[in-house]
A and B are shown apart, each in its own frame.
Chain A
Amino acid sequence: MYARLLTWWTILRICLEERLVYRGDFALGTLMRFLPFITQIFLWSAVFAARDQSPLRGYSYNEMIAYLLLTNISRAFSSMPGLASSIAQQIRNGEIKKFLIQPIDLIGFLLLARVAHKVVYYVVALAPFALVFYLARGFFSGWPDVTTMLAFLVSLVMAFLLGFFLEATIGMVGFWFLEVSSLLFVYQLFSFFLSGQMFPIDILPSAARAAVDLLPVPYLAYFPVAVFLGKVQGTALAWGLLVQAGWVVLFMVASRVALHRGLIRYSGFGG
């Protein structure tokens, strides 16, 4: 048990150090990522001006902007840049072999690397995020109560896990297809438009909304934010968290099965 913890700690430490090499670049990049948000503010401000500020499917102007700002937080948890493509690449160029001979679990290793990646990201990105939220504090009507806040944090952690296992599963498809970039593109397309990072999915027409609700992607961006803003409460909240947990478990199992089956299929040649 101790040895195992030590291995995990070592992996985590290596990944942390690796991530901190380019911290200045990183902080600047994070701040710049908010630039498109400025255009979004002006776009929605024009939309609400044309509606004489009447709320849009339950969203006031301030709530809409607060929503879009908060999706940056849920995306900071659920986005996994390069995860699926790097798994597929390791399968293709044979690097995956090292996990066959070393006593390290591939998914566990990737998960720790991603945790390290995220921890560094939050530490470095804290200042830019704090600055942007401070400047935009007028759009918020105050802090939610403790229960909501807890549910928000739980949904964020699950958003991270869902993002991780979903992309890991896509990467494992590489055992069968070698190149997953088109599959990944479809996923990114869905996650860009239907996860709620462009607009809250409850403004969609009801039929489209019902279809989107059947997908896992809203739990990557929309759901945590809706929890924070108090759009989901009571039984709906409990049910939502349960469904989110269900998706996490589903993709956790799917990535395991894919890895297991994939390794049976896998054949590595050369050194």
Chain B
Amino acid sequence: MAHDVVQAVAHDFGSAAGGLESMSEHPSYLRVFLTFARNSLVRDMTFRTNFLVDVVASLTWVSMQLAFYLLIFAFAPSIGSDWGKYEFLVFLATTLLANSLVGAFFMPNLSEFSELIRTGHLDFALLKPIDTQFLVSFQRIEWSTLANFVFALCLLAFALVHLENPPQAIQWVLFIVYVGCGVAMLYSLMIALSSASVWMGRNQNLYDFWFYITNFSRYPMEIYEGPIGTPLRRAFTFVVPILVVVNVPARMLAQPLSAQNWPLAGFAILATAGSLLGSRWMFVRALASYRSASS
């Protein structure tokens, strides 16, 4: 079984790169990505019960979270000024959408990346005739996490039915674009943090740090106010744009479009481009400082 998979990878890699003899040609990134996706699925389906347990576990986890927020809305009509129960459910669904995409596509890869640096196995990735960042970012896809994505879509549908102002087509387009931006920002933060393992050797704390920082993105930004909250909100908007990730797309869909949202929406585009470029720069710098750890 494993042998077949290796054969399939080798074959696809060969054809994707246009054959070994023509290395100078650009590989087809899409085909390589599809191969990664298929291999991960084959791997997941090899241990089907484990896959099902993973799905049930992550669904139970998000259901419990949902129950917690429903409990909160039993006591308060709204959070912040604008977020009533159903608006907040749209917000929660947006959080789940962004996090499930990051969890499915990037989380397993980037925790592996720190490990590749620590063990020196990154050598093998550097030797492949394909962009190293692409390779270390997409190699493994955690299909079971996409169950949360489906859960989030159902939650979104349920919440939208109850909204007073159902979104229009343009809001949907903006929503999809900005969820994409949010995922790109989370990805950038993650790859920047895991690139730091080149200099730090080991970065368990940095990972916890990622978890703790993204924790701030779970709530509407309006709740951060007052002498501590306002600076905190500004820092997590303009320095590390973690609050923009969910807030901008969720507001696009849950609240009527309003001109006062445009500055932040414009900033979100800039922040996405900035984070992608910044993290790419950091990744390249990290590779330049990488000294193989193999003996």
Residues of A within 8 A of B (CB): 25, 28-29, 32-33, 35-36, 38-39, 42-43, 45-48, 50-51, 56-57, 182, 185, 189, 192-193, 198-199, 203-205
* B226 closest partner in A (C-beta): A45
* A194 closest partner in B (C-beta): B64
Q: Judge whether A39 and B218 touch: CB under 8 Å.
A: yes
Q: Judge whether B60 and A42 touch: CB under 8 Å.
A: no
Extra pairs beyond A33-B212, A46-B76, A51-B76 (20, CB < 8 Å): A28-B205, A29-B205, A29-B208, A32-B208, A35-B215, A38-B216, A38-B232, A39-B218, A42-B219, A42-B223, A43-B72, A43-B219, A47-B79, A185-B57, A189-B61, A189-B64, A193-B68, A199-B68, A203-B71, A203-B75
Q: Judge whether A43 and B223 touch: CB under 8 Å.
A: yes
Closest chain A CB from B223 CB (angstroms): 4
* B77 closest partner in A (C-beta): A50
- Specify which chain B residues have a CB less than 8 angstroms from the CB of A43 in the assembled complex: 72, 79, 219, 223
- Specify which chain A residues have a CB less than 8 angstroms from the CB of B64 in the assembled complex: 189, 192-193
- Specify which chain A residues have a CB less than 8 angstroms from the CB of B166 in the assembled complex: none
Of all A-B residue pairs in the complex, the 3 with the closest CB atoms, nearest first, are A50-B76, A35-B212, A46-B223
- Specify which chain A residues have a CB less than 8 angstroms from the CB of B223 in the assembled complex: 42-43, 45-46
* B209 closest partner in A (C-beta): A32
Q: How far is the CA of A42 from the CA of B75 in the complex (A)?
A: 16
Residues of B within 8 A of A (CB): 53, 57, 60-61, 64, 67-68, 71-72, 74-80, 205, 208-209, 212-213, 215-216, 218-219, 222-224, 229, 232
Q: Judge whether B76 and A182 touch: CB under 8 Å.
A: no
Q: Judge whether A39 and B75 touch: CB under 8 Å.
A: no
- Specify which chain A residues have a CB less than 8 angstroms from the CB of B222 in the assembled complex: 46
Closest chain B CB from A211 CB (angstroms): 13
* B225 closest partner in A (C-beta): A42
Q: How far is the CA of A32 from the CA of B74 in the complex (A)?
A: 31
Chain A facing B: main interface SS: helix
* A34 closest partner in B (C-beta): B212
* B217 closest partner in A (C-beta): A39
Closest chain A CB from B144 CB (angstroms): 13
Check A25/B205 contact, CB under 8 A, given A39-B218, A46-B223, A203-B75: yes
* B212 closest partner in A (C-beta): A35
- Specify which chain A residues have a CB less than 8 angstroms from the CB of B216 in the assembled complex: 38-39
Contact residue among B78, B80, B219 (Cβ-Cβ distance under 8 Å from A39): B219
Closest chain A CB from B168 CB (angstroms): 28
Contact residue among A38, A46, A48, A182 (Cβ-Cβ distance under 8 Å from B80): A46
Q: How far is the CA of A246 from the CA of B64 in the complex (A)?
A: 28
Q: How far is the CA of A35 from the CA of B210 in the complex (A)?
A: 11
Q: Judge whether B79 and A32 touch: CB under 8 Å.
A: no
- Specify which chain A residues have a CB less than 8 angstroms from the CB of B72 in the assembled complex: 43, 47
Closest chain B CB from A159 CB (angstroms): 22
Closest chain A CB from B72 CB (angstroms): 6
* B218 closest partner in A (C-beta): A39
Closest chain B CB from A67 CB (angstroms): 15
* B211 closest partner in A (C-beta): A36
Closest chain B CB from A191 CB (angstroms): 11
Closest chain A CB from B66 CB (angstroms): 11
Can you pick out 7 interface pairs between chain A and chain B where the beta carbons lie within 8 Å of each other? A38-B216, A39-B216, A42-B219, A47-B72, A50-B76, A50-B79, A203-B71
- Specify which chain B residues have a CB less than 8 angstroms from the CB of A56 in the assembled complex: 75
Among the interface residues A28, A47, A57, which one has the most CB atoms of the partner chain B within 10 A? A47
Contact residue among A45, A182, A192, A204 (Cβ-Cβ distance under 8 Å from B53): A182
Q: How far is the CA of A28 from the CA of B204 in the complex (A)?
A: 12
* B68 closest partner in A (C-beta): A198
Q: How far is the CA of A203 from the CA of B229 in the complex (A)?
A: 26
- Specify which chain B residues have a CB less than 8 angstroms from the CB of A205 in the assembled complex: 74
Closest chain A CB from B70 CB (angstroms): 11
* A50 closest partner in B (C-beta): B76
- Specify which chain B residues have a CB less than 8 angstroms from the CB of A35 in the assembled complex: 212-213, 215
Among the interface residues B53, B64, B76, B215, which one has the most CB atoms of the partner chain A within 10 A? B76
Q: How far is the CA of A204 from the CA of B74 in the complex (A)?
A: 10
Closest chain B CB from A69 CB (angstroms): 15
Q: Judge whether B77 and A36 touch: CB under 8 Å.
A: no
Q: Judge whether A36 and B212 touch: CB under 8 Å.
A: yes
Q: How far is the CA of A110 from the CA of B282 in the complex (A)?
A: 44
- Specify which chain A residues have a CB less than 8 angstroms from the CB of B215 in the assembled complex: 35-36, 39
Q: Judge whether B71 and A46 touch: CB under 8 Å.
A: no
- Specify which chain A residues have a CB less than 8 angstroms from the CB of B60 in the assembled complex: 189
Closest chain B CB from A215 CB (angstroms): 15
- Specify which chain B residues have a CB less than 8 angstroms from the CB of A182 in the assembled complex: 53, 57
Q: Judge whether B75 and A51 touch: CB under 8 Å.
A: yes
Q: How far is the CA of A192 from the CA of B57 in the complex (A)?
A: 14
Closest chain A CB from B235 CB (angstroms): 12
- Specify which chain A residues have a CB less than 8 angstroms from the CB of B67 in the assembled complex: 193
